[in-house]
Structure 1
Amino acid sequence: MKLQHLKYPDLPNFHELTDALLRYSRLAAEFGYDQEAGDIIRRIEETLQSGIETFAKIVENPRPDENEPEDWASILAQRPQGRHRLTEKLPEDYAERFLGAFIGRGAGCALGGALEFRGVQEMEDWARYCGDAYPLTDYWSMVKNPYQHRYILGTSEQLTKAYMDSIPVDDDFAYTLIGLLTLEKYGPNFTQQQMADLWKEKFPLQAANGSWGAYWGERKMLQNLHAGMPLEKAGYANNPNVQSIAAWTRADTWGYVAPGWPEKAAELAYRDASVNHRRNGVYGSMFFAASIAAAFAVDDPVEALHLGLQEIPQDSLFAEAIRWAFSVAPEIKSYKDGAAAVRERYAGMFEGHAINNALFVVFGIHIGGKDFTKVIGETIAMGMDNDCTGATAGSIVGAVIGKKNIPEHWYKPFNNRMHNYLNGGPEYVDFDDLLTRYTAQAKQIM
């Protein structure tokens, strides 16, 4: 697939249509037509459900695309030539770089999570209202809906500096931890079925307070698995998110355990992501896992991104997008430039897609370089799924510069721990414990 061949359908304003439908149905009932209103609503619901089912069936069998293979052997064959392994052993400064990556991921995730999926103007306005610098140079001083429950155990106010006592709960970190748990239980040759069994055991779907433990394709896969659906169907059935950002929010562990070996990180990410993602959703996970792995062995985060690009099919839509971002990066001077460029070029694309969000990470790293604060501040300021983009940008840059070069105000509120909502584990997991466990896995793999 090339961008020139991608044509999104024209969509009506569903929000206005739905609002009018609701108002008319209530008005009809108030005027004595309650039975007729019910009949009309049922017919519309049946039509919509039929359309969704039709879409679900056709996307289960994508049209063949020789440039976007899905089996591992074909993906390997379509990679560009490059350096697929940078070191033969665990880097001597692994501990410093790992802590930089993990802390960097936490800072970017917490910073973006406070106003996730908000528009650029809305974030600028909120910063002005709060009196916070923008792009942000520290955590938000206030958030909207501070008591709103999030991810089973948390509330939104924990994303502010005054109430932060750890890396706040987030599915991005649940995915990072479940990757580690998978390796610890099954080893680096884990199967997708083993991974799915552990997900069923560890992921709470929803808490009594109404908050969810997983979203999008991950929630749908878990629901399908709990309903008894076999894994080969559970990941894709009724899942419109197979090319979403979610797969690459699960990529970090694979980079952490293959430091300096992008090819291996990409292989592990492929096995993980392809359980419920396809094509560019999978390539996104491979790209970022490889970039993170490379970041442990280079001194420039931009170089890490270039090395990551060597691990995915070179003529895929994802690879085309990353090359475009590299080519225009010198013209992107700020978050406003990046946000405008991506929204113009990829107009119509879902704001949780693997591609458009990846471009924000690329631009944020190009703008900030090794200036950690600038990288995550500029990245999350571009919007869309910005807890994920901030987390990934922070992970890559953190691995390059190490903990010692991340300003203390980004990690001091964490108190050396992350907040965990997975079943059967401690509520807080210490960074020192994570370092020991990740080091053991990395030694085994390297």
Structure 2
Amino acid sequence: MPKRNIIWILLAFFFMPHMTAAVHKGKKEVVLSEPTLRDKVKGAWAGQTLGCSYGGPTEFKFLGTIIQDYIPIPWDKHMVKKWYDTFPGLYDDVYVDLTFVEVFERCGLDAPVDSFAAAFRRAEYPLWHANQVARYNLLQGMKAPQSGYWKNNPHAHCIDFQIEADFAGIMSPGMPNQAAEICDRVGHIMSYGEGWYGGVYVAAMYSLAYVSNDVEYIVKEALKVIPEESDFHKCMSDVIRWHRKYPNDWKRTWFELQNKWSEEISCPEGIHNSFNIGTKINGAYILLGLLYGQGDFTKTIDISTRAGQDSDCNPASAAGILGTMIGYSNIPEYWKEALHEVEDIPFSNTDISLNKAYDMTYRHACDMLRKHGNVKAGNDFIIRRENIRPVALEVAFENLKVSDKLTIEKSIDDVNPFSFEGTGLVVKGYVAGGLPADYTAEMEVYIDGKFYETTALPQELNHRKCELFFCYDRPAGQHTVTFKWKNPVPNGKIWITEIIIYTTK
């Protein structure tokens, strides 16, 4: 037997065949047996599904406030099946992930951006915010990554990619740089800047959860993948710092976050109100659960939920990361029993169930380990530690501030021409009048008397445009906007509900 193989086998014996200690104390390799790898893959998907289910009853019902301890959050062994039956759209955290998992299954590990974008464009499951705008952009002929770029997507900083980047980390055991590369291909379909960073960070935490049993190490080490200059990095660093300062009081850290990081300037739904679907604040709530949960599955899932806002997605990410670290076999039966009656049921508008996801992602993880030079000795993978590289700096909505938010509630004919002072605006509204689902209104927009664009406004819910119009790139000053309906129909109206005006700082 070659000397090199003997050395690897001895290493495998030394490090144990199952989960090893954390890699952060000078270790260059970690050994992961095939059964342990499979158990961790299952723990990742199971944790994500359980977290999403637990937070379902409270999603966006507690805005800018904590869900206090005396408020019960219902749970029993039939809760997951109930959501499958009554509101399958709750699992957008999972079914969007699985769209991209299926592309890897079909096209291989080197699948190009266009393959992911085409699969996402064809999907007919419910979507919201950055995901829905990206799907609209793709359906209108725009290519990725322009579909997620902030000037084409007002929701580019929303949570969307953060909640669906799990797959990139689950298939990249101990390889956060490779997880980030996958995020680059997929995440820019719908996100940019902070919205993309949230997904990259979550994927890196999943990746490191395979090779470390230390939550604090996972949270801090994974943050190296995010540029330090970014606000996202600064916000996550604050959570880590406040956790050290208030180690037994997650609510104090929550209040510090609310005071410093709760302002929303991008997502039109969150302007001048308590609703916040931004990646920073919700990503911080993932860390609240992980750090203050101290490796306890129940505490982790409960704290991330009780932080509020997107209170199904945040515990889904936290529980998925922790589920990867401890493995499916160590998730308490109190939680796990709720999965037994759904593990063979496909998620909404997919043919992939949890059991199928376990198998597919396990194969992808094995393929990724082999592709990137991680040696296998018998039934054990010897995973080499990576020096984490930060991804590129991306800045969106730079130097913009909201100068006004106007409630209109008028048809476009009643507001023409509309005047504003600033550098851009977002116009919210809808097409009304009992129109058929296959009808698409076409609206021309003129700025300062010059044609700017024709925008399509489909009636089909899954093809809709979330806002009537937006632009951010006008020179500072006074402007007029005129709207013209090109293909009007009897009894139809294009209603404007709100106008958000931006100026430079």
Which amino acid in 1 is paired with 2:61? R
Paired residue for 2:178, among 256, 264, 267?
264
Considering only CA atoms, is the larger Rg found in Structure 1 or Structure 2? 2
1:30 equivalent in structure 2: none
Paired residue for 2:309, among 377, 384, 400?
384
Counterparts of 1:186 and 1:162, CA distance in 2: 32
1:161–1:387: structure 2 CA closer, same or farther, 3 Å change rule?
closer
1:433 Cα offset (Å):
2.5
1:337 equivalent in structure 2: 252
Counterparts of 1:371 and 1:352, CA distance in 2: 26
Counterparts of 1:322 and 1:336, CA distance in 2: 16
Give TM-score scaled by structure 2 length.
Answer: 0.60
Paired residue for 1:193, among 97, 114, 125?
114
1:438 equivalent in structure 2: 361
Which amino acid in 1 is paired with 2:75? Y
2:335 equivalent in structure 1: 410
- Cα contact 1:244–1:281 (8 A) shared by 2: yes
1:125–1:161: structure 2 CA closer, same or farther, 3 Å change rule?
farther
Specify the SS of the correspondent of 1:417.
coil
* C-alpha distance after superposition, 1:389-441 (max 9, x if no partner): 11000011111111222111212122251754554x43xx4433222211111
- How many pairs align? 331
* C-alpha distance after superposition, 1:364-389 (max 9, x if no partner): 11111111000010111000111111
1:45 equivalent in structure 2: none
After TM superposition, list the pairs within 5 Å mapping 1:210-359 onto structure 2: 213-236=126-149, 238-330=152-244, 331=246, 333-349=248-264, 350=270, 351-359=276-284
- Cα contact 2:66–2:307 (8 A) shared by 1: no
1:161 Cα offset (Å):
6.5
1:363 aligns with 2:284: no
1:182 equivalent in structure 2: 103
2:409 equivalent in structure 1: none
2:40 equivalent in structure 1: 97
Which amino acid in 2 is paired with 1:438? T
- Cα contact 1:84–1:261 (8 A) shared by 2: no
After TM superposition, list the pairs within 5 Å mapping 1:69-148 onto structure 2: 87=30, 93-119=36-62, 124=67, 128=71, 132=72, 136=73, 139=75
1:119 Cα offset (Å):
1.9
Higher mean alpha-carbon deviation, 381-390 vs 164-173, is at 164-173
Counterparts of 1:257 and 1:161, CA distance in 2: 24
Specify the SS of the correspondent of 2:44.
helix
Higher mean alpha-carbon deviation, 276-285 vs 86-95, is at 86-95
1:256 Cα offset (Å):
0.9
* C-alpha distance after superposition, 1:186-208 (max 9, x if no partner): 2222222111111122x215xxx
* Structure 2, unaligned runs of 5 or more: 1-23, 265-269, 271-275, 370-505
Specify the SS of the correspondent of 1:267.
helix
Specify the SS of the correspondent of 2:155.
coil
Which amino acid in 1 is paired with 2:295? K
Which amino acid in 2 is paired with 1:139? W
* C-alpha distance after superposition, 1:11-31 (max 9, x if no partner): xxxxxxxxxxxxxxxxxxxxx
1:111–1:93: structure 2 CA closer, same or farther, 3 Å change rule?
same
- Cα contact 1:90–1:443 (8 A) shared by 2: no
Which amino acid in 1 is paired with 2:50? A
- Cα contact 1:262–1:307 (8 A) shared by 2: no
1:407–1:269: structure 2 CA closer, same or farther, 3 Å change rule?
same
Counterparts of 2:283 and 2:153, CA distance in 1: 21
* C-alpha distance after superposition, 1:309-338 (max 9, x if no partner): 121212221111111111110315345324
Counterparts of 2:232 and 2:114, CA distance in 1: 27
Which amino acid in 2 is paired with 1:412? E
1:327–1:122: structure 2 CA closer, same or farther, 3 Å change rule?
closer
Specify the SS of the correspondent of 1:109.
helix
Comparing both structures, which one devotes a greater share of its residues to strand? 2
1:140 Cα offset (Å):
7.5
Alignment RMSD (CA, Å): 3.1
- Cα contact 1:91–1:297 (8 A) shared by 2: no
1:444 Cα offset (Å):
1.3
- Cα contact 2:243–2:250 (8 A) shared by 1: no
1:122 Cα offset (Å):
7.6
Which amino acid in 2 is paired with 1:389? N
1:276 Cα offset (Å):
2.5
* Structure 1, unaligned runs of 5 or more: 1-80, 142-157, 206-212
1:204–1:294: structure 2 CA closer, same or farther, 3 Å change rule?
same
2:124 equivalent in structure 1: 204
- Cα contact 2:161–2:191 (8 A) shared by 1: yes
Counterparts of 1:337 and 1:313, CA distance in 2: 27
Give TM-score scaled by structure 1 length.
Answer: 0.67
Q: Percent identity?
A: 22
Counterparts of 1:285 and 1:358, CA distance in 2: 9
1:197–1:127: structure 2 CA closer, same or farther, 3 Å change rule?
farther
Counterparts of 2:76 and 2:114, CA distance in 1: 40
1:234 Cα offset (Å):
3.1
Counterparts of 2:208 and 2:309, CA distance in 1: 26
Counterparts of 1:390 and 1:221, CA distance in 2: 25
1:339 Cα offset (Å):
2.8
Specify the SS of the correspondent of 2:109.
coil
Comparing both structures, which one devotes a greater share of its residues to helix? 1
